[in-house]
Structure 1
Amino acid sequence: MLLKHAQLKLIQPGDTRWLSYFRSVNAVIRCYEPLMSTLEHIVNERGEESPSASGLLSILKDQSITFILHSLEPILEALSILSKFIQTKHGDFNQLEKLMFGTLLRLEELKNVSINEYKQIFEIVDKIKALSSINLNRDRITRATSRTNEISLEEIFNDKIVKFINEIISNIKARFES
């Protein structure tokens, strides 16, 4: 049967660069405070001359965006580890199978909002919200601020994060079935 196939591929190549996404999200999280300070400085100094900085500042102040970024980090980390292993030249099928099942288990675990990682994420988001409300100019209420009040973080988790994880799990299973 194998002789009939001209080329045997472990998986189909994908366009997604999980490690790049992980590093990008991780960089925003690590540099969040200096990034916010810089954007606030640009907006305060230049005002209407810097709509990009103002827009990015508004987006990053949104509690739901902060929550999504922090929630994506462990997901992207698990996927980047699997992706890096798939790209190695010296990996074997047994190790790949174990890592794939481990990744699937980790993704299933990340669908549970009660795990400690999400408790920490909720605490981080609450701290950021408290800090931003202290610094918030009371005369300016953004659409992002009012929108966050209408949507709970658990709703965002169930509507966005769990659906994203389910899609990834389906994709991994589909790639490794054939």
Structure 2
Amino acid sequence: MVLNGGTKKFKEMFHTRWLSFEGSVGAIIANYEFLVSVFLEETAGKPLSLHKPITTFKFLYVSHFLADCLESLAILSKSFQKQDLNFAEIHPFLAATIDSLAEIKDGKSGDKLSKF
């Protein structure tokens, strides 16, 4: 709020919840500039030690790649959680997710990675 930006709330990750991974990675990307500036202003050892690894090209690239992959998986996960899920819908959901992930792997798609 201080930096007048459209921030996204950070979420805790849980190993059994796909949607928590998608939300966490999305929050890092949305708040990246603010996160780096906060780490630079801190004088404690932990924030300063985290500043260097998160400002590398590799971290940013992997974060954007993961955001694209996890977005497809989150859509699939949400579709499986519908109360009125029809088993005839499962194959198209899986096929669409697999196609989406294959396109991201081949570098043909990926909204967040292409913007990066």
Q: Give the alignment's TM-score, normalised by structure 1.
A: 0.53
Given the alignment of the two structures, is residue 74 of structure 1 paired with residue 55 of structure 2, yes or no? no
Kept in 1, the 8 Å contact 2:65–2:110? The answer is: no
Report deviation, 1:116: 6.6
User: Any residues of structure 2 matched to 1:94-173 within 5 Å, and which?
Assistant: 94-115=88-109, 117=111, 118-121=113-116
Deviations 1:105-131 (A, max 9, x none): 10111111254744432xxxxxxxxxx
Whole-Å separation in 2 of the counterparts to 1:120 and 1:84: 25
Whole-Å separation in 1 of the counterparts to 2:96 and 2:49: 39
Whole-Å separation in 1 of the counterparts to 2:72 and 2:80: 13
Q: Give the alignment's TM-score, normalised by structure 2.
A: 0.79
Q: Which residue of 2 aligns with 1:19?
A: 19
Q: Which residue of 1 aligns with 2:30?
A: 30
Deviations 1:119-149 (A, max 9, x none): 432xxxxxxxxxxxxxxxxxxxxxxxxxxxx
Report deviation, 1:32: 0.4
User: 85, 90, 104: which is aligned to 2:84?
Assistant: 90
Secondary structure of the structure 2 residue equivalent to 1:90:
coil
Whole-Å separation in 2 of the counterparts to 1:77 and 1:102: 12
| Structure 1 gap segments, 5+ residues each | 1-14, 122-178
Whole-Å separation in 2 of the counterparts to 1:96 and 1:115: 23
Q: How many residues get paired?
A: 101
Whole-Å separation in 1 of the counterparts to 2:110 and 2:99: 16
Deviations 1:143-173 (A, max 9, x none): xxxxxxxxxxxxxxxxxxxxxxxxxxxxxxx
| Matched AA of 2:56 | D
Whole-Å separation in 2 of the counterparts to 1:87 and 1:113: 29
Whole-Å separation in 2 of the counterparts to 1:114 and 1:97: 23
Bigger share in helix: 1
State the superposition RMSD in angstroms. Answer: 1.6
Whole-Å separation in 1 of the counterparts to 2:114 and 2:101: 17
| Matched AA of 1:58 | K
Identity %: 29
User: 41, 46, 56: which is aligned to 1:52?
Assistant: 46
Deviations 1:77-107 (A, max 9, x none): 0001111111222111111211111001101
